[in-house]
């Protein structure tokens, strides 16, 4: 007998028919004698619909009220799944985040999990129930409903698996595992049988939204066995996220390619090049709670330099205003330009540590396609470039081919 946390995403519970399918799968595990906690997302499209509704009423919806509203999507799913299980004569009980008492901080729309009360869930499991928990939501210490950020049901699943010490957290979704890159963009992408936590963290943070980054962080921290599988296929092992030291296989140099269109680039032109200038530009941006990702400062000519950085697209206008109004006049920069038609493409792999020349190969492949690189960032296990958005898919496809990711290992 094993103890599983199974999380089913939006598409997997996208209709009542699909919810009945999920119920059949869960019932099968239950009837085999396994203990199961199920975490579900809102039905596909529902969270977007609710957010759009809020925007019809308030240009910038109040975050507390937004969380009260968007959390209803998951509440519908848990109730429907409990009903579907009861139809199959399986004892089931659904709980919202607040009912579990999944305690979070009060950062509405991006709250962090602080604690999970396990007693009630454990008692239900011991009494032969399937326990169904609403993903994506929690409650702060004053009883306010909070949500965990888009894709947050993954994190609910992993956090429950950690808190209750499940044998495995299974993320059921609309693909049958983690692929070398998004199979919707590169049909030749290949499913990986395993990927290391470090690589998955990079892939998630660089744009592969198949797992919310916090869920991967949580799994790494609490050493939760995490697997991604298809909710539509009966068989298949999916992809296991592994710890590097467990691996005995030869690591490929590159495991995957991630990409995103979530960033915007801002360049401050003709900046006097003296100590403290980076702080003068980025200090006020940080004070406004805006995260900066990539940064480039050029060599100076006649003591003037250009300074570029990227921020999330949602923060683009706000950042431009801060730089134009507060910083440009203050430091005497010549001009400020920016645009959000950029994309970041990254190659990721722990094997890079022991292989030179990955970055130069990436640059050569892009050059051969006439794709101009606007910015570069590297770490031990990734190389990222910013390119014009219109070349993003081409860049991903040619890199996927050049790094032999289509070949079975």
Q: Which helix H or strand E contains 336, and what residues bound it?
A: strand 335-339
Return the C-alpha torsion angle 224, 229, 232, 237, nearest 10.
-120
Residue among 151 and 220 whose Cβ is closer to Mg ion: 151
Among 47, 194, 196, 208, binds ligand ADP (CB under 6 A): 208
For the record, the structure tokens of 178 come out as 């983690």
**With 0-12 CB in 10 A as exposed, 13-18 as middle and 19+ as buried, what is 92?**
buried
Distance CA 158, CA 175 (A): 19
Q: How far is the CB of 224 from Mg ion (least distance, A)?
A: 17
The dihedral over CA atoms of 305, 310, 311, 314, expressed in degrees to the nearest 10, equals 110
Among 79, 202, 211, smallest CA distance to 158 is for 211
Rounded to a whole number of angstroms, the minimum distance from the CB of residue 25 to Mg ion is: 18
For β-strands 137-139 and 145-147, DSSP reports them as antiparallel
Instruction: State the binding partner of 73 from Mg ion, ligand ASP, ligand ADP, none, CB within 5 to 8 A by kind.
Output: ligand ASP
Helices 213-222 & 197-205 angle (0-180, nearest 10): 160
Size of the site for ligand ADP (CB under 6 A): 18
Q: Does 151 bind Mg ion (CB under 5 A)?
A: yes
Q: If contact means CB under 5 to 8 A according to the sort of partner, which of Mg ion, ligand ASP, ligand ADP, none does residue 11 touch?
A: ligand ADP
210 is an interface residue for ligand ADP by CB under 6 A: yes
CA angle 107, 109, 113 (to 5 degrees): 55
Q: Is 178 in the site for ligand ADP (CB under 6 A)?
A: yes
Q: Closer CB to ligand ASP, residue 155 or residue 251?
A: 155
Q: Which is nearer to ligand ADP, 138 or 238 (CB)?
A: 238
Which of the listed partners (Mg ion, ligand ASP, ligand ADP, none) does 340 bind, with a CB threshold of 5 to 8 Å by partner kind? none
Reported as half-sphere exposure (CB side, CA atoms, 13 A), residue 157 has a value of 32
- Where does this chain touch Mg ion (CB under 5 A) — which range of 145-153, 163-171, 234-242, 337-345? 145-153
Residues that bind ligand ASP (CB under 6 A): 9-10, 41-42, 47, 73, 135-136, 150-154
Distance CA 33, CA 65 (A): 41
Buried b / exposed e along 221-243 (16+ C-beta atoms within 10 A): eeebbbbbbbbeeeeeebbbbbe
Task: Write the binding mask 249 to 268 for ligand ADP: x where contact by CB under 6 A, - elsewhere.
Answer: -------x------------
Which residues on adjacent β-strands are paired with residue 116? 102
Does residue number 209 form part of the binding site for ligand ADP (CB under 6 A)?
A: yes
* Residue closest to ligand ADP (Cβ): 9
Q: How far apart are CA 408 and CA 191, in angstroms?
A: 9
Q: Which stretch binds ligand ADP (CB under 6 A): 8-16, 26-34, 287-295, 328-336?
A: 8-16
Interface characters, 116-155, with ligand ADP (x: CB under 6 A): -----------------------------------x----
> By the criterion CB under 6 A, which residues form the site for ligand ADP?
9-12, 41, 151, 173-175, 178-179, 181-182, 184, 208-210, 256
């Amino acid at each position: 007998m094993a103890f599983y946390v199974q999380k089913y995403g939006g598409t997997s519970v996208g209709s009542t028919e699909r919810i009945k399918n999920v119920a059949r799968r869960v019932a099968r595990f239950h009837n085999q004698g396994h203990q199961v906690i199920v975490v579900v997302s809102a039905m596909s499209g529902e969270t977007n619909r609710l957010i759009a509704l809020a925007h019809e009423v308030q240009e910038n919806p109040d975050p507390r009220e937004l969380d009260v509203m968007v959390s209803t999507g998951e509440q519908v799913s848990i109730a429907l799944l409990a009903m579907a299980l009861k139809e199959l004569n399986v004892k089931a009980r659904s709980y919202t985040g607040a009912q579990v008492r999944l305690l979070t901080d009060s950062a509405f729309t991006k709250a962090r999990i602080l604690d999970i009360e396990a007693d009630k869930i454990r008692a239900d499991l011991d009494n032969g129930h399937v326990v169904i928990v609403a993903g994506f939501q929690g409650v702060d210490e004053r009883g306010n409903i909070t949500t965990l950020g888009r894709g947050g049901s993954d994190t609910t699943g992993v956090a429950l698996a950690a808190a209750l010490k499940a044998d495995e957290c299974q993320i059921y979704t609309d693909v049958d595992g983690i692929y070398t890159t998004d199979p919707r963009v590169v049909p030749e992408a290949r499913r990986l049988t395993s990927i290391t936590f470090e690589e998955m963290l990079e892939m998630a943070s660089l744009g592969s939204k198949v797992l919310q980054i916090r869920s991967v962080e949580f799994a790494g921290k609490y050493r939760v066995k995490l697997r991604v599988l298809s909710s539509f296929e009966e068989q298949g092992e999916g992809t296991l996220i592994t710890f590097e030291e467990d691996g005995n296989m030869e690591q490929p140099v590159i495991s995957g390619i991630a990409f995103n269109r979530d960033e915007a680039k801002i360049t401050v032109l003709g900046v006097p090049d003296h100590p403290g200038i980076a702080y003068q530009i980025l200090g006020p941006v940080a004070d406004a709670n805006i995260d900066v990702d990539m940064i480039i400062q050029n060599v100076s000519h006649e003591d003037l330099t250009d300074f570029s950085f990227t921020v999330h697209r949602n923060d683009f206008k706000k950042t431009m205003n801060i730089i134009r109004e507060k910083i440009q006049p203050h430091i005497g920069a010549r001009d400020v330009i920016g645009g959000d038609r950029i994309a970041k493409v990254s190659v990721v792999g722990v094997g890079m540590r022991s292989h030179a020349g990955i970055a130069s190969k990436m640059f050569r492949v892009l050059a051969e396609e006439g794709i101009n690189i606007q910015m570069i960032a590297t770490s031990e296990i990734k190389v990222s470039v910013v390119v014009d958005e219109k070349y993003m898919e081409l860049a991903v496809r040619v890199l996927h081919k050049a790094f032999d990711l289509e070949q079975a290992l």
